[in-house]
Amino acid sequence: MGKLEHIQTLSKHIGRVWSVAWHPKGDALATCGEDKTIRIWAKEGKEWVNKVILTDGHKRTIRDISWSPCGNYLASASFDATVAIWDKKSGEFECSATLEGHENEVKSVAWSKSGHLLATCSRDKSVWIWEVAEDDEYECAAVLNAHTQDVKKITWHPHVDLLASASYDNTVKIFKEDPSDNDWICIATLSSHESTVWSLSFDKTGNRLATCSDDQTVKIWKQYLPNNSEGVPTTDGEASWKCICTLSGYHTRTVYDISWCHLTDSIATACGDDIIRIFKEDEGSDPNAPTFSLINSAERSHTQDVNSVKWNPKVPGLLASCSDDGDIKLWNFIE
Amino acid sequence: MFLSLFQRKSETTVASKPSYPEIDCEKLRNIIYGFIRTIKDPEKPNTLEELKVVYENGVQVRKSVAENLNVVRIEFNPTVPHCSLATLIGLCIRIKLEQTVPYKFKLDIFIKKGGHASENEINKQINDKERIAAAMENPNLKKVVEQCIQED
């Protein structure tokens, strides 16, 4: 068994905190929520303190935030239907661009690994891909209308320009650019969850994807390339994604977020029963039918729903979470 | 557009959250029903109780011991199976309870089985907290909900 040790509670936001995002260097944390602000936290000595507050960028709840891989830009997605891009070129964080186009609430935003692409998704059922041009210009490269309901979350593959989206229509879809005509296409639909898929996270290789849902389960999917040795069928020369594991019976309410650590391979989940859970693949488990075990002792993590969890990209075991209780908490996971 | 705060002193150890008192399931059930029975119908001059949209045995409370949570389940019955305001009624029930009940609980709201032509869609929508949160940021909708849940 492992232990999730509480390090510090950061209480500054007013109301529900929706999302946390670590800076790629791991030394700063951005958070956002119902109070329409973004706060940036960094370590001073032993304590994490609130260094910056970004206000006036949005008129409604800020649902999600994402740092660019270079760490110089921060993107925020809001219920006001816009996405704001913040940078520090002037020495202080300023909003340098506002992306408009979605018809209603933008629910998630994510930069690709290369930093050249930005993806957004909305209750309007669409996923947009934006190309980052020179001089803070963002051009819409694609509007993807593959989902039949709200798109809750999007995430990029850790190495290549492959995008995954999670939806209220109970599915996950995978998109990539068709090299023949530069059109973005949906290459796979992952159907198995029985209710809204709230979030998703790739492992460090990008060959596996973990998804979490209102159906109170977590699922692990594996990519099978054409002509794979396991004999899993593929179509049109595209990889197929197969559900290779379902974790059920652990969560007692909706699972709102999931984070797969690229340093330790641990999976953390944020659940509507106020608990953060940590899972790890069992040693020697079959790569095509793996088994995972719950490895932290269940204890009350927050006093209300946990909305987001993220592993620090540089410090193994360091986890950030946020909740409807208005708190952000930092944890150290000791195996 | 921005405001930077550089804090010299750590302000990170903040006073603890208001602690929620423990409550017996039956008492919580009575308190909850007391709040929802007086919600006004969005169209009619009557309350949800008068229209039999909500009723006492539609409220259940169970204690989930492992997680130490009070889980509240509310069932309501729209007046007609094509009631266009069923979603709004669900929204009113959720918002009123979130704003008024001084105890901590988890809430699930469902339409009485067979009570509405689109019951599955509506059940999904009124239990999606992100959709609820976004709806309450719509000024017109917020106003309608506030009128329905206002205590006379």
pLDDT tens per residue across span A227-267: 999 999 999 899 999 999 999 999 999 999 999 999 999 99
* Residues of chain B with C-beta less than 8 angstroms from the C-beta of A214: 128
* pLDDT tens readout for residues B88-138: 999 999 999 999 999 999 999 999 999 999 999 999 999 999 999 999 999
Q: What is the CATH number of the domain that holds A237?
A: 2.130.10.10
* Cβ–Cβ below 8 Å for A196 and B124: yes
Number of domains in chain A: 1
CB B116 within 8 A of CB B122: yes
Which of these, A177, A96, A173, A81, lies nearest to A135 by C-alpha position?
A96
Q: How far is CA B1 from CA A37, A74, A95, A120, in A?
A: 11, 14, 7, 23
Query: Which residue in A has a C-alpha nearest to residue B2's C-alpha?
Result: A54
* Domain annotation for chain B: domains and CATH numbers: 23-149 (3.30.300.130)
Half-sphere exposure of B36 (CA within 13 A, CB side): 31
Per the model's pLDDT, the better-predicted residue between A238 and B22 turns out to be A238
Spatial CB neighbours of A274, under 8 Å, sequence gap ≥ 6: A300, A301, A302, A303, A304, A305, A306, A323, B67, B69
Q: Is A328 exposed, middle or buried (0-12, 13-18, 19+ CB in 10 A)?
A: buried
* Cβ–Cβ below 8 Å for A53 and B68: no
Domain that holds residue A13: 3-334
B2 touches chain A (CB under 8 A): yes
Residue B8's pLDDT is 33
Tell me: ipTM over 0.90. yes
Give the distance from residue A312's alpha carbon to the nearest chain B alpha carbon, in angstroms: 19
Q: What is the DSSP letter of A89?
A: T
* Residues of chain A with C-beta less than 8 angstroms from the C-beta of B4: 51-53, 92-93
* Cβ–Cβ below 8 Å for B133 and A34: yes
Residue B3's pLDDT is 39
Flag whether pLDDT at B12 surpasses 50.
no
Nearest by CB: B134 against A93, A105, A273: A105
pLDDT by position in tens, chain A (length 335): 789 999 999 999 999 999 999 999 999 999 999 999 999 999 999 999 999 999 999 999 999 999 999 999 999 999 999 999 999 888 899 999 999 999 999 999 999 999 999 999 999 999 999 999 877 799 999 999 999 999 999 999 999 999 999 999 999 999 999 989 989 999 999 999 999 999 999 999 999 999 999 999 999 999 999 999 999 999 989 999 999 999 999 999 999 999 999 999 999 999 999 999 999 999 999 999 999 999 986 678 999 999 999 999 999 999 999 999 999 999 999 98
Q: Count each helix (H run) and each strand (E run) in chain B, helices first.
A: 5, 4
Q: How many pairs of residues across A and B have Cβ atoms under 8 Å apart?
A: 94
